[in-house]
Chains A and B, each alone.
Chain A
Amino acid sequence: MLELIIISTLNGILFGMLLFLMASGLTLIFSMLGVLNFAHASFYMLGAFFGFQISRWLGFWPALFIAPLLAGALGAAVERFGLRRVHRNGHVAELLFTFGLAFVIEEIVQIIWGKSPVDFRIPSSLDFPAFQIFSTNYPAYKMFMLLASITIFVGLLLVLTKSRVGLIVQAALTHPHMVGHLGHNVERIFMLVFGVGTALAAIAGVIAGPALVTQSNMAALLGPILFVVVVVGGLGSLPGAFVASLLIGLIQTFAVSINGSLAEAFGPLSPAYAHTWLADIWDVTVAQIAPIIPYLLLVLILVFRPMGLLGTRET
C-alpha cells in the first residue's frame, strides 16, 4: 500500500511537472497577448518530433537543446508574421488563427513523419532502474524527467523575478501600455514571450517523447488537459498554473489506484434498482473514470470559482 502511494506520488508529480512546463507557456502567452493559443500542444508535439529527428542525427543530448530552440524560433516567427497581423482583427480572429495553426501543424507532421508512432528511444545512458522502492523499480529516465522539469521551473522563476528582462515581462503582463511609454519595445517582448512559451512546450515534448508515445495524435491527446490546467489554475496566473498542474497530475495518477465506487460505498444498502438502471453510475469505479476527473474539476471550477484557483482576472 505504501509502495503504491509513493510510486503514485512520484508519477503524479512527474506528470504534473510536465503539464506545468506546457501550461506555464500557455498562461504567459495568454496574460501577455490575450490570446489562448490553441496550437500550444502542437508545439509540444513539434518539440517531440524535432527531438526525435535530431536525436537520430546527433544524439539525444544535443536534441534536448536544439529542438526547443528550433520550436521556439518557429513560435516567434508565428507571432511576428502571423499573430501580429491578425491581432488587429480582434481576439476571435487570433483564436481562429491558432486553431487553424494546430490543424496545419498536425497535418505537416503526418506528411513528414507518417501517422504511426515513431521510435523515439530513451537514451541508453538513462535506460536503467534508478532505485527500488520496496520491490518496484523506478526508471532513471523518469527521474531525469522530474529533475529536468524542476530545473527549468526554477530557472523560469529566477529569470522572471530576478532578471531585468523578467521584470519587464512581468510589468508588460499587467501594464503593457505603460511599459511601451517607458520606451521598451513591447512588440519585441511579445515575440520573445511567445517564443519562450512555445520553447517550453517543445522541451516538454522532447523530454516526454521517449516515455509517452511520439505520434501525430500527441497534441490532440494532451491539448484538452492543458486547457483544464490553465483554467483551473487561473488564466494569467503562473503560480496558479503550477498548483493546478500538480493537482491534476496527482489526481489523475491517484484516481487510477482507487477502486472505490458507489456500489462499494453503499454495499448492501444499495437500492434495488441501483444495479440495473443506475448501473452505469453505481458500478463504475473511480479508476475507470480517472481520465475524465480533470474535466469534472474544470466544470466545478467554472461553476463555483470561474477566475480559477489563483486567478486575478475574469475570463
Chain B
Amino acid sequence: MRHWMIIAAFLPILGGTAFAQESVKIGYIDPLSGGGASVGETGLKTFQFLADELNAKGGVLGKKVEIVPFDNKTNPQESLIQAQKAIDAGVRYITQGNGSSVAGALTDFVTKHNERNPGDELLYFNYAAVDPALTNEKCSFWHFRWDANSDIKMEALTNYMKGQSSIKKLYLINQDYSFGESVRSAAKAMLKAKRPDIEIVGDEMHPLLKITDFAPYIAKIKASGADSVITGNWGQDFALLLKAAADAGLKVNWYTYYAGGPGGPTAIKQANLNHQVFQIAEGIPNIGYPSAEAFEKAFRAKYDISLFYPRAVNQMRMFAAAADKAKSLDPIKVALALEGMQFDVFDGGKGFMRKDDHQFFQPMYIASFGDRTEKELFDEEKTGWGWRVAAKIDTEQTILPTTCKMERPN
C-alpha cells in the first residue's frame, strides 16, 4: 500500500515536460476563478484571438506568440507567486489588468526583479489597471499602460456631466481599494470645480468582488434621493449592482467606467435603463470604423462574446510593431522602441505612448447603452440593445500631466 502511495505521489512530475520551442510567451496573470473569473476569461479569449491574428501573419520576428494563462484569483500575493511561475516558465512579457491592487504589487515585483537580474528582464504590459499612481508615484520603466488612467477617464466623464443640467444629486459607489478610492476622490474634486451646484448625497465603498447581494446598497441609493450615480465598479460588482437595481426598480442615470463588462449589458437591459447608463472607454463596437467592425464580427463569430478590450488590440499590435522596429525581442530594446511610439488605434485615430510615464493616450468615447438604430450594427449579450456614442474626446484633450520621475536602465 505504502509503495503505491509513494509512486502515486511522483506521477504528477510526468505531466510537466518542458518545451524549448521557438515561441515568444506572454504570461497572462489575471483571475480565472473566483469573483473576477468572468472578466479574466474574457480577457484571456481576447489575447488568444490577438495572438492568433499575429501568428497568422507569421508571428513576431518569425516566432509564434503564445499566451500562457496564470490564475491569480485577483489576489496580489497570489499574483506574485504566479509571476515567479511565469519567469520560471521562460516568460519575458507579462500582461495583467484586473485589479490595481494586483498591478501595484506586480509593478514593484517586476522592477525589483529586473534590478536584481540584469539580462533576465521582464516587461509588464498593463491593459486595464487604471489607478493613476501606476504612472505617477509608482511609475516604472518596465511598466506600460494601455488604458487611460482613472483621472483621465474622470476628467472626460465630468466634462460631459458638466453639460448635463439634469444632474442635481449625485451618489458615489465604488470598490474599496486603490482604484475605487481614486475614482471617488477624482470625482469629488473635479465636480467641485466644474459643477459646484451638484450635491453629493452619498459616498459608498464596498469590498472588492465579495458582495453578491447589492440590495442594501440600492436601498441606500434610493433613500438618498440621488438622480445620478458614478461608479467605477467592474466585472461581477457592476453586473450584480445593476441586477439589484433592476430588482428594486431603481431609475437613475449611471456614469460608469466598465458598464460593458460581462453581465453588465444584461443587467442594464433587465433594469430597463434605456440610454441612461453611460460608459467612458477607448472604444465601443458601434463607432463605425470598418476595420474594427470586421474584427468585431470575427471575434464574436469565434468566441460569442464582444470585444471589451480594444486597448488589448492596441497593446498586442504595438508590441509586434515595437519588436519589428527594434529587430529584437529583448525586453529593454522593445521597451525603448515602445516609448514615444505613435500608433493608429483600433477604432480609428492616432494614439501615442508617452515616454515620461509610459501612459498611452488615445481618443476616448462616452457612450450610452440602449435601443439601437440601423446605424448601430452590434448588440451586446443578445439583449438587442447596443452602445451609441454620446461624445468623442480627441487624444490631445485627454492628456494630463504626470509626476513620474522614471529611473531608466543605463
Contacts and interface: CB of A to CB of B under 8 A. Distances in A.
Interface stretch (A1-9, A20-28, A179-187, A305-313): A1-9
A116 interface: yes
Given A137-B249, A256-B217, A117 B210 contact: no
B212 A213 contact: yes
Nearest to B205: A288
A287 interface: yes
Contacts, number: 82
Interface stretch (A62-70, A214-222, A238-246, A296-304): A214-222
B38 A291 contact: no
Interface string A138-158: 110010000000000000000
Contact of B216 (A212, A221, A256): A256
Given A4-B222, A8-B216, A256-B217, A291 B210 contact: yes
A11 B217 CA distance: 11
B219 A212 contact: no
Given A11-B215, A288-B176, A257 B249 contact: no
Given A117-B38, A288-B176, A8 B219 contact: yes
Nearest to B73: A217
A1 B207 contact: no
Interface string B233-256: 000100010000001111000000
Interface string A243-254: 000000000010
B37 A117 contact: yes
A139 B33 CA distance: 29
Contacts of A136: 219, 222, 248-250
Interface residues of B, number: 29
Interface residues on A, range: 20 to 34
A215 B213 CA distance: 14
A163 interface: no
A161 interface: no
A129 interface: yes
Interface in B194-232: 204-207, 210-213, 215-217, 219-220, 222-223
A1 B223 CA distance: 6
A303 to B, nearest CB: 25
A212 B236 CA distance: 11
Contact of B210 (A139, A221, A288): A221
B41 interface: yes
Contacts of B250: 136
A142 B34 CA distance: 25
Given A216-B33, A288-B205, A257 B219 contact: yes
A174 interface: no
B59 interface: no
Contact of B33 (A15, A132, A212, A217): A217
B340 interface: no
A41 to B, nearest CB: 14
Contacts of A139: 247-248
Contact of B223 (A3, A138, A212): A3
Contacts of B220: 4, 256-257, 287
A168 to B, nearest CB: 38
A212 B212 contact: yes
Interface string A106-145: 0000100001110000000000010010011111001000
5 closest cross-chain pairs (CB), A and B:
A137-B249, A115-B33, A256-B216, A212-B212, A4-B223
Interface of A: 1, 3-4, 7-8, 11, 15, 110, 115-117, 129, 132, 135-139, 142, 211-213, 215-217, 221, 253, 256-257, 285, 287-288, 291
24 contacts: A4-B219, A4-B222, A7-B216, A7-B219, A7-B248, A11-B213, A11-B216, A15-B213, A115-B32, A117-B38, A129-B247, A135-B222, A216-B33, A217-B33, A217-B35, A221-B212, A256-B206, A256-B220, A257-B216, A257-B220, A257-B223, A288-B176, A288-B205, A291-B207
